[in-house]
Amino acid sequence: MTATCMHHIGQFLEMLVAERGASKNTLDAYRRDLEDFASHIGRDGLDLAAVSNRDITAYLRSCNDEGLAPASRARRLSAIRQLYKFLAAESVVAEDPAFGLTGPKKARSLPKTLSVAEVDRLIAAARNRTCSTTGPERARALRLNCLVELIYATGMRVTELVSLPRAVLDGDDRVLTIKGKGGRERLVPLNPAAREALDRYLDPGPAVDGSPTPSAIRSRWLFPAKSDTGHMTRQSFAMDLKEIAIEAGLDAERVSPHVLRHAFASHLLDRGADLRAVQQLLGHADISTTEIYTHVLEERLKKLVHDHHPLARKT
């Protein structure tokens, strides 16, 4: 990959941060995809400004030959198209070589979720751990219980949750102000169970046997940790969640922070919540993203009829 390619890709990524508020994870994904594309055309002696529509098509074909999934190929084409829109706007290329290209159609999979009873078991297991541990282990149990209650009560993205600043506690304790994708802020309400779990995490008090429990370290983060960022990582929370899922008698492979976000949305809609309200709570920029949860309910109703209606055909 040439220095010129690296320069143009770097400028594009800077634009994503400045104009769209792209997150680090988004930038890393774009960088990987575009550097792979630049390396591919570099082997043919091409630079970004010399690429044709045929060259991009050949690259996508090579991705298919390597066994890359349709979703991954579609994502790479999307990155390439956005890069060339930027380069065309900056007059680096006279014409957009990606114009008119269409990627493989992605089958829209329904989000995985849990039933209300399964979430209740998960929360109960997390709460029980806070009563059966002491010392630092109890402090970690209180943190996990707080995280589980918060993510199910608010539907926050896991990155939003683990990177909450401690300043989020300032003001009304009935709501949290969340800074989501693109720097957009939204308010999410806290139910009594989430507020109680948060209070216990911040002020743990003694364990059942009377022994002291260390309080959370004072930090700019609500969930501080010894990590590069200074706060708990997504991966660490996901691992803790799988442990508690096993204690709750659930299949750990079915449980993740994102699944709890899905459960939050699905359960709200199942009980008659307005789709627009759910969109705002989830922080979706486009309501079409939220509409996927209506399909989850449709599939559940179909299964209900198929399994229980006396006239349903059994196969």
Local structure of residue 214 (DSSP, 8 states): P
Residue 275: what pLDDT? Answer: 86
Residue 249: what pLDDT? Answer: 96
From 138, 231, 261, 262, active-site residue: 261
Residue 36: what pLDDT? Answer: 93
- Which residue blocks in 106-208 are alpha helix, DSSP H? 116-131, 135-154, 158-162, 192-202
Domains of the chain, CATH where assigned? 3-89 (1.10.150.130), 116-305 (1.10.443.10)
**How many residues in the chain?**
315
258 is catalytic: yes
Q: Between 135-154 and 116-131, two packed helices, what is the crossing angle to 10 degrees?
A: 160
152 is catalytic: no
Give the three-state DSSP class for 89: helix
Is-contact 250 125, C-beta < 8 A? no
Is-contact 276 287, C-beta < 8 A? yes
Work out whether the CA dihedral 23, 29, 32, 33 comes out positive or negative. negative
Pairwise CA distance, residues 10 & 6, whole Å: 6
Q: Name 155's bridge partners.
A: none
- 177: part of which helix (H) or strand (E)? strand 175-179
293 is catalytic: yes
313 is catalytic: no
Here the tokens at position 118 are 């399964």
From 85, 179, 186, 258, active-site residue: 258
Position of tokens 């159609």?
A: 105
From 31, 179, 284, 300, active-site residue: 284
Is-contact 72 63, C-beta < 8 A? yes
Here the tokens at position 231 are 């706060």
Pairwise CA distance, residues 278 & 233, whole Å: 26
Pairwise CA distance, residues 76 & 98, whole Å: 12
Pairwise CA distance, residues 237 & 67, whole Å: 32
From 157, 231, 262, 267, active-site residue: 157
Residue 218: what pLDDT? Answer: 80
**Per-residue pLDDT tens digits for 174-207:** 899 998 887 888 989 999 999 999 999 999 989 9
The type of residue at 37 is: F
Residue 298: what pLDDT? Answer: 58
Residue 225: what pLDDT? Answer: 92
Residue 110: what pLDDT? Answer: 63
Residue 107: what pLDDT? Answer: 55
Residue 12: what pLDDT? Answer: 93
From 85, 140, 181, 186, active-site residue: 181
For the chain, which residues score pLDDT lower than 70? 1, 105-110, 295-315
181 is catalytic: yes
Local structure of residue 51 (DSSP, 8 states): -
Position of tokens 């290329």?
A: 93
284 is catalytic: yes
From 30, 59, 201, 293, active-site residue: 293
Residue 105: what pLDDT? Answer: 64
Residue 52: what pLDDT? Answer: 92
